[in-house]
Amino acid sequence: MTLVRLLPVALATWLLGAHFYRGGSVVLAGCCVLAPVLLFVKRPWVARAAQALLALAALEWLRTMAFLMRERQRSGLPFMRLSLILGGVAALTAASALVFRGSALRRRYSLG
């Protein structure tokens, strides 16, 4: 059951890894793909590090959204769908950090 609770965290980091891989940053992509392995370590710092990673990931999605919106506006192309999709990805990435607030994961990672 814990694995199901941690699935949003893993999916968010893997999606970020795909984003970095598409951008040509293979090292960052590899780090994102391997990051969920740390979730098997039952320490408080793991949960906090995952939350920090997810917060930074949400900011990266917002940065990417702003960049791509500017590019599309300059080209005279529509940008609303792009902004809705990337805004949703950023929101879901940030929301996935909230899984650690649940009592089962608080106990697993000894969060006070």
What DSSP assignment string belongs to 50-85? Answer: HHHHHHHHHHHHHHHHHHHHHHHHHHT---HHHHHH
Q: Is the pLDDT of residue 2 over 90?
A: no
* Residue corresponding to tokens 């040509």: 24
pTM over 0.85: yes
Q: Which tens digits make up the pLDDT trace of 19-68? A: 999 999 999 999 999 999 999 999 999 999 999 999 999 999 999 999 99
Instruction: Return the amino acid letter for 88.
Output: G
Q: Count H helices and E strands in the chain, helices first.
A: 5, 0
Residue pLDDT, tens place only, 75-111: 999 999 999 999 999 999 999 999 999 999 999 999 9
